Amino acid sequence: MFEKLLEPGRIRTMPLRNHILMGPTETHFTREDGCISQEEIAYYVERARGGAALITTHQVQANTKIDPIDPYPRSARLDDDAFIPMMGELTDAVHLEGAKISVLLTPGGGAQALGVPYDAGTDGMTDATNVAPGTIRCPVANKPVRPLTIEEIHQTVINFGKAAGRAQRAGFDAVTIHAHFGYLIAQFLSPFFNNRTDEYGGSLENRARFLMELIAETRKNVGPRFPIILRIAIDEKIGEAGRQIEESVELCKMAEAAGVDAIDCAAGLMMSIPWLCPTVYHEKAALAPLSKQIKDAVSIPVFVQGRLQDPEIAEQVLENGQADFVSLSRAWIAEPEWAKKVACGDAEGIRRCVSCNHCIGDRIANLRVLRCRVNPIAGREWKFGNALPKAQEKKHIAVIGAGPSGLEIAYRCGSMGHEIDIYDKTDRFCGGQIMAAKASPGKEVLNNVPRYYEAQLAKLPNVHVHLNTELDEEAVKNLDCDVIVLATGGHPFVPPIPGIKEVETVTAPDVLTKKVSVNGKILIAGGGQTGVECAYMLMGEGYDVSIIEMLPMLGSDEEQLTHMTIMPVLEEMGLKSFVSHQILKVNANSVQAKDLLSGREVEIPFDTLITSLGTRPETALLDAVKASGKPYHVVGDAVQAGNIRAAIESGFFTAQKI
């Protein structure tokens, strides 16, 4: 099984131990001076230790004097010899774990750079004009631009080649040219951005001239045997205004002829940002059809990425000849031992990514350091490695509740050597709020959460699971244990709106899990993530759905890339929304609401009223826990309503306190 994934591979002169690559993941662990940090090295080392054949770093800047605006704060740099020592520390550490490593080298962010000048502290004090191929602003960054001069283009090429040479001296095994994500090279290649009229604009050959010169200069500086990889969007996903598959096929042929040794196939620009990190609403292996067209056109190895977190799907992509290598990014954040577990027959034990994009949309995009919703150690490897230490004093711990927080604490404490009894009133792991969260179309991937804990806890003979076991207050008081953990989650909240108790209502979780039925016109009170997902499911079943929400936007608690993907779909399906509206009163078949912007009152009819107004901690057993006289901890939503990340982190950090 997984023969294609596990067989050795090669890119030019570089041997690889398998066909499982780690693609770029921004971390924000780089120091403010552009040097790689020890925290970042620890992050990459755990993935090398976990079996990655080739690791590609996040983007590294080669040209900061000509393109002076950081694409995002705290980019790594290689535009000076001063950056070689720490890069050498990184490559040495990765090599000691048996992996190869490539630097993702870029000449800059161009029109799309969202950061500030590299000279920290000068934001707002200097000219912040972005450079660009031409005069077109990036609609996302929306910053003033100026076209690069011919002389600046030539100097950029020279700077890039020198940086590639530094990468080789620092011990990197390959250079990956960053022509993706809508940054400077991608802008030269794109008919949307490149409106030059000289030899660097117009035809595909002219738009590709900058890239071809970068390839040639890189080869000049690294020699004939050193691998050069091209990372590029095969389809910019902005329609006819952008570069599409036909041009990209020709472009990849040109790159092969120019000396590129492999093509890393991606998709999208900032204007089509969900394609940069495909969401739960994109199909798994979403980019494989694109990589297949490139593989059919070139003779060099082709990488594919995009929702390949399941080894079964990754293997199938290789078997189908859609690519030569699979490149995982978010999957490695969630599971640093992805390849190792595949190799040792523990595919069920992989902590599989749930495609939530918390890592990029909630963290990196908001200038925070890397974190993961399902792996609390991600970005903290420098402190924890990949596990907590064994307990010096073993205790007997009773965990009440088998949701994410309870399961995480049971797993971590069990792995540390404690004796664990975990109780849950339902017949399965995550039988509460995750049951509702995974019911909406696209969210089935949340099955990965209980799946992981089932596999891990089954390996621990000191963890005893008691499902279909509802503890009452007397049972809690008499638990035979040293420590009690209350992980009972939350319950739906219905505020005291006038008239709401006189009307039959149903909750969004009950609708999502099909515990109740609905009919006629549907009105959902509450337009957060749960309300939006409930609407999506019901509209797919043919219902007429409206949502009323006090905030000015629906789904404001959803990660932004996911939000950008699903909202246009809902609009096309005909969702009626009343944002910035407050419910004043609930009548038998309508609600009276106030438009908070205009002050006007409206009446919204319904046949079924669904409440999705948040959750409150479920603490019915807390007094009994206290009365037991035993040390106790309250975790997850039983403390404060939150998302899966908050629940799992609560369990993880509480495990260290026991």
Q: Give the catalytic positions in this structure.
A: 183
DSSP letters along 441-510, please? TTGGGGGHHHHHHHHHHTT-TTEEEE-S----HHHHHT--SSEEEE---EEE-----TTGGGS-EEEHHH
Sequence-ordered alpha helix ranges (H) in 82-180: 84-95, 150-169
- Six-digit token string for 47: 């993935």
Alpha helix positions (H), 501-630: 508-512, 529-540, 560-573, 622-627
Residue owning tokens 């009307």: 503
DSSP string across 355-418: ---IIIIIIGGGTPPP--SS-TTTT-HHHHTTSPPPPSS--EEEEE--SHHHHHHHHHHHHHT-
Q: What three-state secondary structure class fits 63? A: coil
What distance in Å separates the CA atoms of residue 163 and residue 186, rounded to the nearest whole number?
A: 19
By C-alpha distance, which of 435, 505, 514, 481 is closest to 633? 481
| DSSP characters over 285-351 | TTTHHHHHHHHTT-SS-EEE-SS--SHHHHHHHHHTTS-SEEEESHHHHH-TTHHHHHHTT-GGGS-
Q: What angle do CA 523, 527, 528 make, to 5 degrees?
A: 145
Token reading at 39: 């925290």
In the numeric block, the tokens 């949309």 are attached to 361
